[in-house]
Amino acid sequence: MSRPTISIVLPVYNEMDAIRPVYEGVRDVLVEAGYDYEFVFANDGSVDGSEAAISALHASDDRVKLVSLSRNFGQQVAVTSGLEYASGDAVILMDCDMQDDPKAIPEFLDLWEKGYDVVYALRSDRQEGLFRRMAFKSFHRINHLLSDIRMPADAGLFCLMSRRVVLEMGRLKERNRYLPGMRFWVGFKQTGIRVRRLGRYDDVSRVSLSRLMILSLDSLVSHSKVPLRCVTLLGLLMFCVATGVASYVFYSKFISLVAIPGWASGVGLILFFGGFQFIVLGVLGEYLARIYDEVKMRPLYVVASTLGSFARRDRKEPS
Quote the CA–CA distance of 191 and 121 in Å, as a whole number.
9
285: in domain? yes
pLDDT at 271: 66
Q: Are residues 201 and 233 in the same domain?
A: no
Read off the pLDDT of each residue in 107-127 and give the average, rounded to a whole number.
88
Does some domain include residue 215?
no
Whether 169 and 268 map to the same domain: the answer is no
| Burial group, residue 264, by CB count within 10 angstroms (0-12, 13-18, 19+) | exposed
Q: 26-35 in b/e burial notation, b at 16+ Cβ within 10 A?
A: bbebbeeeeb
Same domain? 157 vs 194: yes
Contact residues for 108 (Cβ-Cβ < 8 A; gap 6+): 92, 119, 159, 160, 193
Which of these, 300, 309, 313, lies nearest to 90 by C-alpha position?
Answer: 313
- Residue 232 belongs to a domain: yes
E strand intervals along 44-77: 64-69
Say yes or no: 11 and 81 in one domain: yes
Element housing 123 (H / E):
strand 118-124
Total number of domains in the chain: 2
Indicate whether 317 pLDDT > 50: no
Is the pLDDT score of 301 beyond 90? yes
Range of the domain at 262: 226-296
Confidence of residue 303 (pLDDT cuts 50, 70, 90): very high
* Amino acid 128: pLDDT: 59
User: Quick one: what percent of the chain has pLDDT higher than 90?
Assistant: 42
Q: Is 302's pLDDT higher than 90?
A: yes
Residues 172 and 239 in one domain: no
Are the C-beta atoms of residues 75 and 11 closer than 8 Å to each other?
yes
pLDDT of residue 38 exceeding 90, the answer is yes
Q: Clarify whether residues 124 and 178 are in a common domain.
A: yes
Q: How confident is the model at residue 124 (pLDDT cuts 50, 70, 90)?
A: confident
Residue 316: inside a domain: no
Whether pTM exceeds 0.95: no
Contact predicate 68/170, CB 8 Å: no
Q: Are residues 71 and 146 in the same domain?
A: yes
Residue 158 shares a structural domain with residue 60: yes
- Average pLDDT estimate for 264-283: 70
pLDDT higher than threshold 70 for residue 136: no
Other C-beta atoms lying within 10 Å of the C-beta of residue 195: 22
Does the pLDDT of residue 318 top 50, yes or no? no
Confidence grade of residue 319 (pLDDT, cut at 50, 70, 90): very low
Q: Is the per-residue pLDDT at 228 higher than 60?
A: yes
